[in-house]
Amino acid sequence: MLTSKITAFDPAWSKKFEKERNLISDAFGDRLVAIYHVGSTAVPGLAAKPEIDMLVEVSNLHRTPEADRFMRSCGHIRGNDLSPEHHYYRKDVAGVRTHKVHVCPIGHLELSRMLYFRDLLRQDVDLREQYQRLKLKLEAENTAGMSEYLAGKSPFIDAVLSAKPDTGE
């Protein structure tokens, strides 16, 4: 699998999200709560790898085999769970990753983390520019592939999220 290069923000990414959301929403049936556009492609003005990140919120993770079959029929392959109750699917076209789908039940920590980070990047121009510089630097220096790139971003993301104000939720 080839990884995409970081490119300038493309307004078409939101249309790609909408199209894929419509394609996969039936996979989760009556368990579906919402499907969110997350990750860098969901942040206007932020350069990103043109891989659409989606976050699916479900009421529960039951009937996973049925969802897996439906997702496969849409071109999504189930990957390893990223944490307990955090399912992951990926879609590649011609050997290039085009979509990543995270599936978590209501109340899962990753729901609030992904949405909060996305919203901060949308609201805070300075933070968005810092994150973009980091991503471009990591891509330029990367010698070991995607895992090295992701590991390089993690401390920044964790630091931003650890500063999240306690809202009592």
* 141 domain residue, yes or no: yes
Which regions of the chain does DSSP assign to beta strands (E)? 32-38, 52-58, 76-78, 87-93, 96-105
Region for 106 from its dihedrals, namely left if φ exceeds 0, alpha if ψ lies in -120 to 50, beta otherwise: beta
| 122-145 b/e (C-beta count within 10 Å ≥ 16 → b) | eeeeeebeebbeebeebeeeeeee
The tens place of each residue's pLDDT in the chain, 169 residues long, gives 456 789 999 999 999 999 999 999 999 999 999 999 999 999 999 999 999 999 999 999 877 789 999 999 999 999 888 888 999 999 999 888 999 999 999 999 999 999 999 999 999 999 999 999 999 998 888 776 677 787 788 888 988 888 876 555 5
Structure tokens at 70: 């439906």
Block residue for tokens 């510089």: 133
Domain that holds residue 155: 12-162
CATH of the domain at 70: 3.30.460.10
* 7 domain residue, yes or no: no
* 3 domain residue, yes or no: no
- In this prediction, residue 166 carries a pLDDT of 59
Give the C-alpha separation, 24 to 20, whole Å. Answer: 6
- In this prediction, residue 3 carries a pLDDT of 61
Give the C-alpha separation, 144 to 150, whole Å. Answer: 11
- In this prediction, residue 109 carries a pLDDT of 92
Helix/strand/coil percent split, the chain, to 5: 50, 25, 30
- In this prediction, residue 1 carries a pLDDT of 43
Count of structural domains, the chain: 1
